[in-house]
Amino acid sequence: MAFCVSGSYRLNSLKARWNICRALGVFLILAPTVFGEDATVSTAVLLDVNTLYQEHAIDLKLAGSETFVEFRYRLLSPAVSAAGAKYPLVIFLHGAGERGQDNRKQLKYLPTWLAEPAAREKYPCFVLAPQCRMDERWVDISWADKKSTPQAPRPTIDLAAVIAALDDVLNRNPVDPNRIYLTGLSMGGYGCWDLGARMPDRFAALLPICGGGDERTAARFTTLPIWCFHGDADQAVPVERSRSMIEAIKAAGGTPQYSELPKVGHDSWTPAYGDPAVLDWLFSQKRSE
């Protein structure tokens, strides 16, 4: 159940409010224009995201073994759907802090913001939010390295599970195959670049945030709409990772957009996702028939 609180007031500690709401099983949704921990907002929504996102799980058999692992994901459906209509799909790859098996932590940030009533009205879509298992990674590399490592021949188990979850969603739901968008932050930013390189023809656009890819794969991105974000003061993932990837794609003939945010640390996703122009751009992209 959701309810709105209108009026103008101060939020002195966004992080504290967020933690309190999480403990209560609800999330505090802030207007898209709110950045930082000390901001003025005009509207806030307390929303039980768990009631909006359906829980799903798939079993994956490990190669060369009889062992199965359970991979969990959540799916948000359009608030209102028309008979025969197809809707875009946003795939969100979370960061390292949201790993686990609770099928819940990965709903932070963009999945929660896209569940806000105004966003659901403006951007009717499906949102796929998979959860990487604890101690696993979307891409098995060091996040702190300034230089890239060659892309592995095969995706990690958890990234392969994302592909399986995507296929599951496409088989069960009226998704527009020409409007599938891939985005991720931090560890998920790395996953965004890696998965995008493996299947560039599958996506209508990429929105990688504070991650990095393998410049050797740059030619695969030349026709794919990309908008990449990174803070120039990021101490967790070197900004060089985004710079070098964008430069490599441009050198290969692509035209990616790149926004390097001055004096912004690792949390470049708040201003990126919080800019209405970014989501407008994302949802305007469509693959050629």
113, 47 Cβ separation under 8 angstroms:
no
Look up tokens 């599958």; give the residue.
202
Burial class (CB in 10 A: 0-12, 13-18, 19+), 48: middle
The Cα 227–Cα 255 span in angstroms is 10
Strand partners, 69: 60
Look up tokens 């996702």; give the residue.
273
Count how many residues are written for the chain. 289
Q: What are the backbone dihedrals phi and psi of residue 154, each rounded to the nearest 5 degrees, phi first?
A: -125, 150
Query: Picking from 10-19, 72-81, 98-107, 211-220, which range would have the lowest pLDDT averaged per residue?
Result: 10-19
Question: For 10-30, how does the pLDDT look when each residue is reduced to its tens digit (9 = 90+)?
Answer: 223 333 333 323 333 333 333
Question: For 35-81, how does the pLDDT look when each residue is reduced to its tens digit (9 = 90+)?
Answer: 233 333 333 445 688 899 999 999 887 777 788 889 999 999 999 99
Query: Where do the structural domains in the chain lie, given as residue ranges?
Result: 1-47, 52-284
Q: First CA to last CA across the chain, in angstroms?
A: 39
**Secondary structure (3-state) at 91:** strand
Tokens of 10: 């101060």
Mean pLDDT of the chain: 86
CATH architecture of 52-284: 3-Layer(aba) Sandwich (3.40)
The Cα 160–Cα 152 span in angstroms is 12
The Cα 169–Cα 54 span in angstroms is 11
The Cα 163–Cα 60 span in angstroms is 11
